[in-house]
Amino acid sequence: STSASLAGAGVAPRTRRVRGTCRGRRHVVTRASKDETNGLGLLTWLGPVIPQGALVTGVKGTWKIAWQTMVTELAPQSKDGEYRRPKYAFDGKISNHANAKHPPRPGWYVLYVGNACPWCHRVTLTIALLGLQESITVVKMTDDAERASRGGWVFETSRPDPVFKTSKDLREVYDAVTQSSYQGRCTAPLLVDGVKKIAVNNESADICAMLDSANFHVATGDAPSPKNPGTSVELRPDQLVTEIDTLNDYLYKKLNNAVYRSGFATTQAAHNRAAQDVVDALDRVDEILGKTRFLLGDRVTDSDVRLFPTIVRFDAVYASLFKCSSRRVGDLPHLQAWMRDFYLLPGVKETVDVDGYRSSYFGQLFPLNPGGIVPTGPTKEDLGLGVDPGRGSLAREDVFYLKQ
């Protein structure tokens, strides 16, 4: 047939035209080809009854109400539509004191983390850089709100709960450590004393600080050695604590949390404020890193640990999904080189999963991406992770402060 011949030649056949009359006039109706779809065709069906503008306005309004409701459930909001991070329920501390409730005993503690979570990532980075992998048990949980009874973190059969054994998700761990039906947000990271089966802390900054100060090798009588060199690394040296805390506070307000304020904002004004904070912070850290190898000089500190989880996720997730698109790390040469340099530090690459970040953020944050389509990139290779930017030696004594 003619149509078959045209199709074989790569030429689409004409759409079928139907002639009819309307009040004595002849008109032509053009219908879509069979291999095309117009969905339910609501605009066509309802057009004669409800004007397109009214229909679109009604649907947009209904969707916005549903969206705001879902975002508010996902991320608490202020009255002006700005994201407010929830407060934390546990504030215990691992301490070197002789009668400490939580002494630094290797093997006692279990850390529950979410693979995609940047707040969890700063803790796993701290463990890696301090060489505490054999002292703290890290349990990686999967982000799946449909399987979780509250929040999003669930256990996989291949990675079960090592403390309470039968827990299916993080909420059940919270119930277990409080011995009650826990009321509140069940957030990760969560540090648990696995011996006493009680919660220690669920604030990432506190956990990082206590791990840096805890002398796990002293508790066991094992001195630092080449076999376990990480015990002598120090991320918060006494002489820099004030500068570290000041910079950390800035990074939290203007970047770490600001990307979430931008992405979870439910008003334009709240988004604009957050997005500008992100731009200002990225420009500032790029300028700093153009002068020094790390944020506070030529050695790694806790401030670098705070910055890396946000930066390694930025181009892959935050720039697009959280609408922080005025800057990309790839456009900031000093910051990009620092990210690649930090990635090469001992133990860091084992904590990074760029594909997992994209899958979790785009696949699980339904209110921000209702279609659930996950971008194919950028990948770890696209970000240049694993490429040496030539910023200096990677020897321990050249990149870390060491405890005396």
- 8 Å CB contact between 116 and 142: no
| Residue (of 355, 361, 346) closest to 383 by Cα position | 355
Amino acid at 327: R
Helix runs in 265-318, H state only: 268-289, 302-313
**Which residues are the active-site residues?**
117, 260
Who's near 228: CB < 8 A, 6+ residues apart? 131, 134, 217, 222
In 10 A of CB 38, how many CB atoms? Answer: 10
CA distance 371 to 314: 21
CA-based Rg of the chain, rounded to a whole angstrom?
Answer: 27
Helix axes 268-289, 241-251, angle to 10 degrees: 140
Note if the bond before 48 is cis, omega within 30 degrees.
no
Give dist(CA 239, CA 244) in Å, integer: 10
β-pairing verdict for 109-114 and 190-193: antiparallel
Q: Is 201 helix (H, G, I), strand (E, B) or coil?
A: strand
**CA dist 321 to 182, 264, 371, 372, Å?**
31, 10, 12, 11
Whether residue 213 contacts residue 96, with contact meaning beta carbons closer than 8 Å, is answered with yes
Query: Quick one: CA dihedral 245, 117, 68, 172, positive or negative?
Result: negative
Spatial neighbors of 400 by CB under 8 A, at least 6 apart, are: 129, 233, 234, 299, 300
- Spatial distance between the Cα atoms of 211 and 224, rounded to a whole number of angstroms: 16
